[in-house]
Structure 1
Amino acid sequence: MERIGQVAVVVPVHNEEYYLARALSGVRAAANALKPDRPHVGVEIIVVLDSCTDGSRGIALRFAAADSRFRVLEVDFRSVGKSRRAGIEALLATRPSPGSLWLANTDADSIVPVNWLQRQVELADAGTDAVLGSVEPDPDGMDPEILRRWHARHPVEEHHAHVYGASFGVRASAYELAGGFPRQRSHEDRGLVQKLRRHGFRVRATDSIRVLTSGRLHARAPHGFGAYLLALGLEPAVAAEG
């Protein structure tokens, strides 16, 4: 198995001007931290702007102008899954040998930890084909009861049972052999992991790269993280009605 020689980070964006700068700053810090640990590993960050009508484009272009590792791709899908797939396809089009390429995925409303890429590359070089990181909602402004319910259902631990697009990495060769992200509007990350496991690839779930993600309840995706948090908040009313 080839050692990782290149890391590509894909960040899908749909009207995230409030969160985007801190998200990209976190990815940049993780890329900087990888350099002294793996000086031979290059990093590219592709920001996929999907139907953005706010200030997200300007923020992404400022990062690209200041740092050559950033690229901006504009699409019109209104779908996080299609945006992720488009970003990866754009990267793979320029990579004749994807065996040494690692694809790291996060979200525009999330902050990755500084060791986010270091740990993924370490696991990949040890033979892992896909890494499922953990996620924790940002408690700032969240209803404490919703946060409590979330933690009760999602213990942050090694070998957890969850899949989060905000902290997910996969070897490019495994991604291609599994057929990539499914062409669906939501849960594309879970769909890919199911395909990877069916193909016998090594999938590792870990809490060593926990990502802080927005605890907002107004969801960008119809069945995404925000929608799930909103459903947790509505549980007592649903139970009372039943």
Structure 2
Amino acid sequence: MHVIVPANDEEALLPRALASIESAVAELHRSRPDVQARVVLVLDACVDRSREVAARHRDVSVVEVDRRCVGAARAHGVTVATADVAEPETSRHWLAGTDADCVVPADWLVRQVMLADAGLDLVTGTVQPDDELDPDSLARWHALHQLRDGHPHVHGANLGVRLSAYVAAGGFEPLAVHEDVGLVERVRASGAACHASSSVHVRTSGRTQGRTPGGFADYLGALAAQGSLTG
């Protein structure tokens, strides 16, 4: 099990993200002592104190890049995490991805392992903005999103994929946005076993101003703007 987390100047939200991931790793080791997990944090062009925050977490491997591109950061994290995995072993390794502004539940990794053991190659989970998003905008968000099995949503903030399927699909492309959608489309097109699961759920930042044009924060900002136009 390899957990990949890209970050760009997230010192304010990174502590809660890493704490939640550590809890998920601890629960995995408690429930499934046969499965080991490694967390790789990719600091991409960070000029804040993210490295100092990460240094407080001894079990987190930190790598730094200067790409200013989440797709490239995710891909680099996978490369670092799986550098010692031989090709015949790729089907036995699982990649779990989230973001540095998210909080994952304690059973996040346990549930992914269960789904992987059931034969799945790709799991797309659900996300929900936290209380930073105002109640009216959050209500509009819920009206547009289906938090159920079989949902149509793809979020790099909550994604699991078997390493062999990831490699066969060409991995994450170096895109500033929608690198997650591209990977999922290619994995699905390959005929791999895929499932959109509501049981794998994370909370993400409800901020409406982000670092990447066209990203999730911009989407939430558009929802908030709709409210100001109709209010």
Q: Give 1:98 deviation, angstroms.
A: 1.5
1:28-50 CA distance string (max 9 Å, x none): 10010011221111110000001
> Are 1:58 and 2:52 an aligned pair?
yes
Match of 1:19 in 2: 13
2: distance between equivalents of 1:51 and 1:138?
A: 26
What residue number does 1:75 align with? 65
User: Which residue of 2 is the match for residue 201 of structure 1?
Assistant: 192
Assess, with a 3 A threshold, how the Cα gap between structure 1 residues 35 and 236 changes in structure 2: closer, same or farther: closer
Retained in 1: the 8 A contact 2:137–2:227?
no
Deviation at 1:142, TM superposition (A): 2.1
2:82 is matched with which residue?
Answer: 92
Q: Which amino acid in the other structure matches residue 11 of structure 2?
A: E
1:142: which partner in 2?
133
Q: Is 2:102 the partner of 1:106?
A: no
SS in 2 for 1:22: helix
Alignment deviations for residues 155-185 of structure 1 (CA, whole Å, 9 cap, x no partner):
2112111001111000000000011012211
Root mean square deviation, CA, Å: 1.5
Aligned equivalents of 2:103 and 2:227: distance in 1?
31
Deviation by residue 1:122-161 (Cα, 9 ceiling, x = unmatched): 000100001111101002x322221111000012112111
* 1:228 pairs with 2:205: no
Give the aligned partner of residue 154 of structure 1.
145
Give the drift of 1:236.
5.6
The CA deviation at 1:99 is: 1.5
- Alignment-derived partner of residue 180 in structure 2: 189
- Matches of 1:38 and 1:221, distance apart in 2: 37
Answer with 53-62 or 231-240: which moved more: 231-240
Distance 1:169 1:208 in 2: 13
Distance 1:50 1:183 in 2: 13
Return 5+ residue gaps in structure 1 as ranges: 1-6
TM-score by structure 1 length?
Answer: 0.91
Residue type at the aligned position of 2:123: V
Paired amino acid for 1:198 = A
CA separation of 1:236 and 1:35: change in aligned 2, threshold 3 A:
closer
Q: How many angstroms apart in 2 are the aligned matches of 1:48 and 1:147?
A: 29
Distance, in Å, in 1 between the alignment partners of 2:230 and 2:185 is 32
Runs of 5+ consecutive residues of structure 2 not aligned to the other structure: none
CA deviations on 1:183-210 (whole Å, 9 max, x unpaired) are 2111100000000011001111111121
